[in-house]
Structure 1
Amino acid sequence: MELALYGEDGFYRRGERPAEHFRTSVSASSRFTSALARLLGEVDEALGRPDRLDVVDVGAGCAGILRHLLGHAGPDLAERLRPIAVEVAPRPDGLPDAIEWRSTLPESVTGLVIANEWLDNVPLDVVEQTDRGPRLVEVCRTSGTERLGPPPTPEDLDWAADWWPLTEPGDRAEIGHPRCRAWAAVVERLDAGLAVAMDYAHTRTSRPPYGSLTGYRDGATVAPVPDGSCDITAHVALDACAAAGERAGANATLLTTQRDALRALGLTGARPPLDLAHSDPRAYLVGLRTAGEEAELLDASGLGGFGWLAQSVGMPLPPSLAGLRP
């Protein structure tokens, strides 16, 4: 998975953009980034409007989120805003000079960190339960053919016991401690602010018994052959990441759905009143389009079903999220 995604000829090293292969919240509607703009404003207020406000997008793709936030920031915020894209792909052409492009996390952050569909691409191993105990699943890089390999490491076994217990032969677990470490590294770099991960997710009570590893290419689901030709992804154990973030210093945690989070940030998916069609047809059509875009982002069986993990350091959870039921 590491070589297939981030090796010399890896999927993301080649500069592939997620929106070219699967639908994301960012590509679905600018209403998503408008909600993040509101969240950024709440973080800014909670931190007392610091002289420098960082906004870091981890796994930034083509930096669509940062472009929007920078382009719609008011004069005061624009002067203080430091947008940082963390991405292994080359810097895209035409990116505003104000956006810093780097391949590693900054050492310290005061502000907001966004990780939209990043953790699902952090490589991990797969373990399968057998009559002889758990075994690592090995895979041929060129064909995708699988075989059972040696026993997992003690670290793998400890993580699985805590977060993804295996019982029946044939059951599989996607060992998530690399993602826990990756998320902890984000929280550790927060001097003060909020980190939010949005991703395909599950919790300990809803783990998929045979795992979720899959591939995406050109808008279609494909076999996860690790030859660099497709995006390889697996859903995220966000509850385990939340515990890792708390160990890394988070003082407040919210684990919720994208539907609930975006509704708290002002999205409704409500259609405009019908009488607007007569009094202002153009505004009515714009309202219908906005309603449709918001409805897609809020759809519990689609993008709205994504998990949101929000953790803060040196500040409470922002007002819009603080009232949500975990």
Structure 2
Amino acid sequence: MTHLPAPAPEALAVSRQLSQKIADEIAARDGWIPFSRFMELALYAPGLGYYAAGSRKFGEAGDFVTAPEMSPFFAACLARQLAELLPQTDGVIYEFGAGTGRLAADLIAELKALGVAVKGYKIVDLSPELIERQRDTLADHLDLVEWLAELPDAIDGVVIGNELLDAMPCELIHWSDAGPLRRGVTVEHGAFAFADREIDDARLAELARRYDPRLPGYVSEISLANRGFVRDLAARLSRGAILLIDYGYGEREYYLPERRMGTLIGHYRHHTVHDPFYLPGLMDLTCHVDFTAIAETGLEAGLDLIGYLNQAQFLVNCGLTGLLAERLDAADTVPYARAVSAVQKLVSPTEMGEFFKVIGFGRGVAIDWLGFADGDRCHTL
């Protein structure tokens, strides 16, 4: 892919080392691994995977820009939702996959300004490089912040996951003339290649039959990891709320006939890459979220499904319009234009506003939440 920026020699060396590690595992497992395992290694292999090595991921010099990095108004709105929920809990915020720590820092500051007590801010992240950046960003709040290596046994507070679910390894399914097959990865002529096998996982086979698009040659994703994460969260949530923000669709939209090649995509230096085998360890791999699966899993686990809507409506419900009027001075033309441009990306239906969705679950807290007051779409799931 000659149009893409060339990696630095040291980065390329890491990618080649990871590629060899993956190839060795494929050879040790009868020449084939499920795509979910390839994605897991590409993203999280210790010291080599995209989120486990030192490559820069966020911002202009990275591979993508997230909403908290784009505009402080994202955190300002989210803080107003948390201000409603935290007093109903033990007052602890849990953030999974905290990126650079920008959202955490902004939320702590906003909640303090709102007079809301934050007992603690616990971050669960798998990336050593990002944890170091989080420590720098949160230098003024280290008395509140704690880093955890895994899910706590019990959660009494508010859980946040922004662009978390899309980075969990997904299964690829190929619906062929012979029925659904599990797509995996092999090595052919020294390069990674797709190869299909029978589905040997009972739950995955059941889901593949349920989603059958009846279009031979159709390929899409099923995320067992997303379901497992929500199930684990629910098992640990004694009281509180879960807010998950990500790009995706409900089931009926996810498996539309025209989406016959699925949603799996790579992000490299602000370029979209359709080859998932490009520079393992240097490229982010993601797939869209099936929010019907998330909702069903939460309900099956005994959580209250509070709401589901697009990001734009959630931010508006949380007071975005008033915050803009309060904090921006139109006479200060350059900062004003920059701030408005960033907010437009958060709410525009052609950008993040419709593309991103917000889903909320609760247990032992009130079910009327500010962020879902208008425009709820649970009926579409």
TM range (shorter): 0.7 to 0.9
Cα drift, residue 286 of structure 1: 4.3
Deviation at 1:144, TM superposition (A): 4.2
- Alignment correspondent of 1:176: 223
Corresponding residue number in structure 1 for 2:360: 310
Identify the residue that residue 264 of structure 2 maps to in structure 1. 213
Tell me the residue number matched to 2:319.
Answer: 266
Looking at structure 2, the residues matched to 285 and 269 of structure 1 have their Cα atoms a distance apart, in angstroms, of: 20
Q: 1:256 to 1:18 in 2, by over 3 A?
A: farther
Q: Please state whether the residue corresponding to 2:262 is helix, strand or coil.
A: coil
| Cα distance in structure 1, aligned partners of 2:368 and 2:310 | 16
CA contact (8 A) 2:162 2:244 kept: yes
Q: Any unmatched runs of 5+ in structure 2?
A: 1-38
Judged with a 3 Å threshold, the aligned counterparts in structure 2 of structure 1 residues 79 and 144 are, in CA distance, closer, same or farther, namely: same
Distance 1:323 1:75 in 2: 23
1:70-114 per-position Cα deviation (integer Å, ceiling 9, x unaligned): 233328967543101110011215243231112212222222111
Residue 140 (structure 1) shift: 4.3
Aligned position for 1:195 = 242
Q: CA deviation at 1:172?
A: 1.5
Match of 1:159 in 2: 207
Correspondences of 1:1-326 after superposition (within 5 Å): 1-8=39-46, 9-19=48-58, 20-45=62-87, 47=88, 52-74=90-112, 80-90=118-128, 91-92=131-132, 93-94=135-136, 95-96=138-139, 97=142, 98-140=144-186, 143-162=191-210, 164-207=211-254, 208-222=259-273, 223-225=275-277, 227-268=280-321, 281-282=331-332, 285-304=334-353, 305-324=355-374, 325-326=376-377
Give the direction of change, closer, same or farther, for the CA distance of 1:301–1:270 in structure 2 (3 Å limit).
Answer: farther
Q: Distance in 2 between matches of 1:61 and 1:17?
A: 11
Alignment identity in percent? Answer: 25
The code of the aligned residue for 1:193 comes to: G
TM-score by length of 1: 0.88
For structure 1, which runs of at least 5 residues remain unmatched after alignment?
A: none
Once residues 210 and 216 of structure 1 are traced to their aligned partners in structure 2, the CA distance between those partners, rounded to angstroms, is: 17
| Residues 236 and 76 of structure 1, relative CA distance in 2, 3 Å threshold | closer
Distance 1:165 1:307, change over 3 A: farther
What is the alpha-carbon distance in structure 1 between the residues aligned to residue 239 and residue 104 of structure 2?
A: 20
What amino acid does structure 2 have at the position aligned with 1:153? D
State the partner residue of 2:30. Answer: none
Moved more, 235-244 or 102-111: 102-111
**8 A contact 1:120–1:199 mirrored in 2:** yes
Task: Name the SS for the 2:320 alignment partner.
Answer: coil
Query: In the comparison of the two structures, how many residue pairs are matched?
Result: 315
Aligned equivalents of 2:219, 2:371: Cα separation in 1: 34
Alignment CA distance shift 1:123-1:185 (3 Å): same
Q: 2:56 & 2:307 partners in 1: Cα distance? A: 29
RMSD value over aligned CA atoms? 2.5
Q: Structure 1 CA distance, aligned partners of 2:174 and 2:114?
A: 54
- Equivalent-residue separation in structure 2 for 1:16 and 1:265 (angstroms): 34
What secondary structure does 2:296 align onto?
A: helix
Tell me which amino acid in the other structure corresponds to 1:29.
Answer: S
In structure 1, C-alpha distance between the alignment counterparts of 2:342 and 2:239, rounded to whole Å: 33
Which amino acid in structure 1 is aligned with residue 97 of structure 2? G
The whole-number CA distance in structure 2 between the counterparts of 1:121 and 1:259 is 22
Quote the Cα distance in structure 1 between the aligned partners of 2:184 and 2:308: 32
Question: Which runs of 4 or more aligned residues in structure 1 lie more than 6 Å from their structure 2 counterparts after TM superposition?
Answer: 269-272
Contact 2:311-2:356 within 8 A present in 1 as well:
yes
Q: Which deviates more from structure 2 when the two are superposed, residues 133-142 or residues 236-245?
A: 133-142
Indicate how the Cα distance of structure 1 residues 221 and 315 shifts in structure 2: closer, same or farther if over 3 A, else same: same
What is the TM-score normalised by the length of structure 2?
Answer: 0.76
Secondary structure in 1 aligned to 2:111? coil
Q: What displacement does 1:56 show?
A: 1.0
1:110-155 deviation per Cα after TM superposition (whole angstroms, max 9, x unaligned): 2211111111111121010112111111224784422222335221
Matches of 1:211 and 1:33, distance apart in 2: 31
